Structure 1
Amino acid sequence: MTTNIQALATQARDIADKLGIRKFDISGSSVDENSVRVDRGEPKQVKASNRSSITVRVWNEAQTVGIASTTDTDPTGLELSLKTAAEASAFGVKDHAPDFSPEATVQLPDYDNTYLPQAPVAKSIETLAEAERELLEAHEAIAGVPYNGLSQRDIERFYLNSDGAERYEAGSYASVYLYSKTEQKGKKPRSAGAFRVDLGLDKLDVSGCVKEAADKTISHLNYKQIETGKYTVVFSAEAFLSLFGAFSNIFNAQSILDNRSLSTPDSLGTVIASPLLSVDDNELDPNNVSPSHFDGEGTPTRRLPLIARGVLSNFMHSAGTAKRMHAKPTGHANLGAKVTVSGNFTCVYPGEPAATEYSIETADNVIWIDEIKALHAGVSALEGSFSLPFDGWIVEQGQPVSIESATVAGDFRELLKSIVYVEKEAEVTPGGVCPRIWVEGLSITGD
């Protein structure tokens, strides 16, 4: 799977010249993937796929744009897409019509386009079956691993336009997840899971995934009810990043322009969080296993400070939103039927030094939230409120005890300002890097 971007660009320009098209761009990707699932050591599901997606935009003389999509990059498919987009340009929007990113032709730093060869599917099955066996043997109460999977994926992306932009990148990664369930007489079933991702199967920390899933599952076997009230809460990296992502409209310029955000154009420079907190969006962070070096419009990705010591520092932009808000594109555009904006890889770290340091080992009457659930139903992104069930523990004199069931609720803006400690040691997750975050005075409802 290799796209010759120069040949494709030449081909596209020749076809465009034949059709009388002067201005166009093409953004595309291709994914070659195989995945397996097992049940009691036997293959339950084996899948392989090769998916391609290409978006073509064509501008007419009035500078309105038409869009077409295809999965075909041969001359026939390209010609049809360019012709269809050209015809659709007559119906393109006139207000705030999209344009090329001014950074689509900026020179990118050197980066590697290397694949780790995919291992045979038989090895994937064998690896996952062994992981399942080890997890089942970790404790007699673990009765099954109903959700599991191991996948290998090769990805390539490209962007080109009629102004001479030619972007291409390729990479590979593998991932595994294990989610176990317990059965004990007289007790409720308990469950927990873990996930790992790396460049290839041989590099994947499968044993670490097994250990984390087992440790978490076992830690939930002895559980108790808790009283409803206000607690100091410590969020795991995954839990905080999940909640942060649910309110990403705060930083999304397109959401702001559509009046679908908790921010306004005048929010930049205001205090939105405790000075103890700093947050970047950085697709190129070294911990990101499969970074993209450019977005759907060809804009280079980069480190973008979102919160600097509690202060809202930047919005995430496409070329269009940047033009409307007199800013620069930031490398967060996705090209499809329309241009959208989304975050890449979130990096959370301490801002100002904390006056008091907190520790799980010495905590008492503290709620430790490991995983937040039902984000699709329990978040009101336009109001800033949330009410979410979670898995976690109550820490009593440094000892965590599993919580039978409970819900955390509050206002996200108040939560950010109520942060009392950002731990120094960060954890790498698939969506970002984050330490544990301590928040004072959150409402917990014990069920």
Structure 2
Amino acid sequence: MSLNIQQVSASARQIATKLGISKFDLSGSTTDSVSVQVDRGEQKQVKASNRSGITVRVWNQDNTVGITSTTDVDDIGLELALKSAYEASFFGIKEHAPDFSPEATAPIADVQIEVGKTATVPQLIESLIDAEQKLLAKHKAIESVPYNGLSQQSVDQFYLNSDGAVRSDSRSYTSLYLYTKTEQEGKKPRSAGAFELSHSFAKLDVQKCIDEAAEKTISHLDYQKVPSGKYTIVFSPEAFLSLMGAFSNLFNAQNILDNQSLSTPESLGTQIASPLLSVADDALHPSNIGIETFDGEGTPTRRLNLIDKGVLSAFIHSAGTAKRMNTAPTGHANMGSKITVSPHFYHVSGGETADDRYNLDTAENVILIDDLSALHAGVQSLQGSFSLPFDGWVVDRGVKTSIEAATVAGDFRELLNSIVYVEPKEELTNSGVCPRIWVEGLSVTGE
């Protein structure tokens, strides 16, 4: 189901006039999704949903705001939401009251967003069963693929306000994940997985996902204990970006204003990482499957350089945080009962060049971390510390030996400053584009 944005806009204006409301805005989306799971060649689960949601804000004559949300996007639902928000506005906060984004009517980026053709449920099930069978056939130790899923989603989002802003965009994506489990006599079960994302089912590289899951699983079969100590660590793109996401309060202006961040307003312009590291947030990156051209407040999205050669160069803002910090909004606001701020899509790249001796084919006794676990429990985001179990290998002159079980611990700010090499080859993950990152002197505890 696709919303007719012009029709919603006309209805909202008409209802607002009838209710005597002169200032309001609406932010919303509709999402169609279907997902399938299989188990040993049989269909296990099929889920399909259509969800619509609109957040409505109304300002009264005293310019305080009320917020409500609704899943009813017809005229009756809109009228009830506008009326409720208007009544709530008299209880709205007076200090730092929200307002329209000054860029809600500014032009948005002219980018082509690919919307793929949807596949049928039988096609999804057939493809996933085939992927499961091919993965099981890759090695006799692969006993099952207990966690798997193939899903497709299409999203229409919009923003409009009483000042004449009306904008919308649509996007679609298909995702596949395969996660194995092994059984070998005298050995602990080992697991590994892979994830693949595309604009459409037709363009999804299923074979790549199968091959990657199999390769990782097989590489973990002959595992060894690792001695505890300090190591040079090589983070995979996924592992580094998951850490970056766990400590995103570094850049988050709302967190900074709430004193819930590792940064302060004065941190801008200071060196927080090795000069080898540059990080941008880029919702419009051509590799981003989920491109968004505007945020929940209607502010156009753009590329924002967060760390430039180790220097903290920007925060991510909503209209409210930007006003309080005397700058411009950056297109990172999420509309809800409270406006929150979050990143879109990271682009991590090298700043300066480094010694090319950092090479997995020649390096001795380094640890390659493929995947970090328990980020919800092992990260102290306000202290900067982390202690996380990981899947990975000891790499010695190109020979990879799986690590039985271990945790890596440290301080994220120290980690950023201990980066000794950023590889030139960037890889696409579901949260951004990033190369492998080499960090010196991190503590690893073997079990």
**TM-score bracket for this pair, using the shorter chain length:** over 0.9
The yes-or-no answer on 1:101 pairing with 2:81 is: no
Of 410-419 and 354-363, more deviation after overlay is shown by: 354-363
Q: Provide the rounded CA distance (Å) in 2 between the counterparts of 1:340 and 1:289.
A: 22
Partner amino acid, structure 2, of 1:307: I
Aligned twin of 1:210: 210
Superposition map of 1:40-55 within 5 A: 40-55=40-55
Aligned twin of 2:150: 150
Q: Provide the rounded CA distance (Å) in 2 between the counterparts of 1:112 and 1:7.
A: 24
- Could you say what secondary structure the match of 1:221 adopts? coil
The yes-or-no answer on 1:416 pairing with 2:423 is: no
Confirm or deny: 8 A CA contact 2:36 2:150 kept in the other structure: yes
* Structure 1 residue ranges (4+ consecutive) displaced by more than 3 angstroms after TM superposition: 111-114
Aligned twin of 1:125: 125
Partner amino acid, structure 2, of 1:286: P
Deviation at 1:73, TM superposition (A): 1.3
After superposition, the C-alpha distances for 1:87-128 in whole angstroms (9 at most, x for unaligned) are 000000011000000000001233346532211100000000
Deviation at 1:353, TM superposition (A): 1.4
Partner amino acid, structure 1, of 2:253: A
Q: Provide the rounded CA distance (Å) in 1 between the counterparts of 2:108 and 2:134.
A: 45
Q: How many pairs align?
A: 447
Superposition map of 1:287-306 within 5 A: 287-306=287-306
Deviation at 1:7, TM superposition (A): 1.7
Q: Provide the rounded CA distance (Å) in 1 between the counterparts of 2:103 and 2:153.
A: 29
TM-score by length of 1: 0.99
Confirm or deny: 8 A CA contact 2:100 2:319 kept in the other structure: yes
CA distance 1:113–1:234, shift in 2 (3 Å): closer
Aligned twin of 2:36: 36
CA distance 1:312–1:113, shift in 2 (3 Å): closer
The yes-or-no answer on 1:12 pairing with 2:12 is: yes
Aligned twin of 1:84: 84
Q: Provide the rounded CA distance (Å) in 1 between the counterparts of 2:341 and 2:101.
A: 14
After superposition, the C-alpha distances for 1:35-84 in whole angstroms (9 at most, x for unaligned) are 00000110000111001111000000111000010011111110000000
Q: Provide the rounded CA distance (Å) in 1 between the counterparts of 2:198 and 2:148.
A: 17
CA distance 1:276–1:144, shift in 2 (3 Å): same
Aligned twin of 2:385: 385
Of 356-365 and 77-86, more deviation after overlay is shown by: 356-365
The yes-or-no answer on 1:325 pairing with 2:359 is: no
Q: Provide the rounded CA distance (Å) in 2 between the counterparts of 1:362 and 1:166.
A: 56
The yes-or-no answer on 1:278 pairing with 2:278 is: yes
Superposition map of 1:392-407 within 5 A: 392-407=392-407
Confirm or deny: 8 A CA contact 2:423 2:436 kept in the other structure: yes
Q: Provide the rounded CA distance (Å) in 1 between the counterparts of 2:146 and 2:355.
A: 45
Q: Provide the rounded CA distance (Å) in 2 between the counterparts of 1:386 and 1:312.
A: 21
Confirm or deny: 8 A CA contact 1:235 1:370 kept in the other structure: yes
Aligned twin of 2:175: 175
Aligned twin of 1:368: 368
Confirm or deny: 8 A CA contact 2:52 2:73 kept in the other structure: no
- Could you say what secondary structure the match of 1:239 adopts? helix
Q: Provide the rounded CA distance (Å) in 2 between the counterparts of 1:284 and 1:80.
A: 36
Deviation at 1:3, TM superposition (A): 2.0
What is the CA RMSD across the aligned residues, in angstroms? 0.8
Confirm or deny: 8 A CA contact 2:158 2:168 kept in the other structure: yes
- Could you say what secondary structure the match of 2:426 adopts? strand
Q: Provide the rounded CA distance (Å) in 2 between the counterparts of 1:53 and 1:318.
A: 20
Q: Provide the rounded CA distance (Å) in 1 between the counterparts of 2:292 and 2:333.
A: 12
- Could you say what secondary structure the match of 2:286 adopts? coil
Partner amino acid, structure 2, of 1:157: Q
- Could you say what secondary structure the match of 1:424 adopts? coil
Confirm or deny: 8 A CA contact 2:275 2:310 kept in the other structure: yes
Q: Provide the rounded CA distance (Å) in 2 between the counterparts of 1:355 and 1:133.
A: 44
- Could you say what secondary structure the match of 1:425 adopts? coil
Aligned twin of 2:438: 438
Partner amino acid, structure 1, of 2:201: L
Give aligned-pair identity as a percent.
65
Deviation at 1:354, TM superposition (A): 1.2
Q: Provide the rounded CA distance (Å) in 1 between the counterparts of 2:113 and 2:312.
A: 35
Q: Provide the rounded CA distance (Å) in 2 between the counterparts of 1:348 and 1:225.
A: 32
Confirm or deny: 8 A CA contact 1:278 1:349 kept in the other structure: yes
After superposition, the C-alpha distances for 1:106-155 in whole angstroms (9 at most, x for unaligned) are 01233346532211100000000000000100000000000000001111
Confirm or deny: 8 A CA contact 1:317 1:341 kept in the other structure: yes
Aligned twin of 1:26: 26
Confirm or deny: 8 A CA contact 1:240 1:437 kept in the other structure: yes
Q: Provide the rounded CA distance (Å) in 2 between the counterparts of 1:154 and 1:419.
A: 39
Confirm or deny: 8 A CA contact 1:224 1:403 kept in the other structure: yes
Confirm or deny: 8 A CA contact 2:357 2:363 kept in the other structure: no
Confirm or deny: 8 A CA contact 1:156 1:168 kept in the other structure: yes
After superposition, the C-alpha distances for 1:223-257 in whole angstroms (9 at most, x for unaligned) are 10011000000000000000011000000000000
Deviation at 1:363, TM superposition (A): 1.4
Q: Provide the rounded CA distance (Å) in 1 between the counterparts of 2:425 and 2:109.
A: 29
Deviation at 1:274, TM superposition (A): 0.2
CA distance 1:409–1:113, shift in 2 (3 Å): closer
Q: Provide the rounded CA distance (Å) in 2 between the counterparts of 1:360 and 1:121.
A: 43
Confirm or deny: 8 A CA contact 1:174 1:197 kept in the other structure: yes
Q: Provide the rounded CA distance (Å) in 2 between the counterparts of 1:369 and 1:111.
A: 35
Confirm or deny: 8 A CA contact 2:379 2:388 kept in the other structure: yes
Q: Provide the rounded CA distance (Å) in 2 between the counterparts of 1:320 and 1:116.
A: 35
Contiguous gaps of at least 5 residues in structure 2: none
Contiguous gaps of at least 5 residues in structure 1: none
Aligned twin of 1:354: 354
Q: Provide the rounded CA distance (Å) in 1 between the counterparts of 2:44 and 2:236.
A: 32
Aligned twin of 2:338: 338
Confirm or deny: 8 A CA contact 1:357 1:421 kept in the other structure: no
